[in-house]
Amino acid sequence: MYLRNTSNEVKDLIKKVNDLDDKNKMKFIIYILDLWDKNQINSLNETNPNLLDDSIDINIFNPSSIGEYYLVNQIKEYWNIKYNLYQLYLKEYKGLIPLFEKLSFKEKIDVLIELFLLMEHDELLPDDIDGYNIAMLIIKY
């Protein structure tokens, strides 16, 4: 279920995420959402772009880029309450992290789009968060 043309690397990663059981799928998604929330999805692949000199031209993509400032916290709180899910990195999805890290800035944004579609499809989001709407906001970015 791809909303735009994506690379084979993105498709392969999303397929592997979809093959995980729900708990591991959610934990991997939390990992990606945390990177997104901490400005780590950026055009220079900097781990802490906030420390860069202001003269450096960098494109940072985070939830506020689409007007959803507290989205990641809402999803994490919902999952912690509903599924008793806490941030534990298990072996089943740890191998997917380097695959994500190697992706380009555009591909990481594509992965976010696909993860929101996946969460909506698997009914993993709170009722007040529409994964399709979030995916469309990301595409419009």
Say what the pLDDT of residue 84 is. 77
**HEC letters along the chain:** CCCCCCCHHHHHHHHHHHHCCHHHHHHHHHHHHHHHHCCCCECCCCCCHHHCCCCCCCCECCHHHHCCCCHHHHHHHHHHHHHCCCCCCCHHHHCHHHHHHCCCHHHHHHHHHHHHHHHHHCCCCCCCCCHHHHHHHHHHC
Q: How many CA atoms lie within 13 A of 120 on its CB side?
A: 16
Domain ranges within the chain, ordered by starting residue: 22-44+59-140
The model carries a pTM of 0.80
Q: What percent of the chain has pLDDT over 90?
A: 62
Tens digits of residue pLDDT in 52-95: 878 788 999 999 999 999 999 999 989 888 887 665 556 677 78
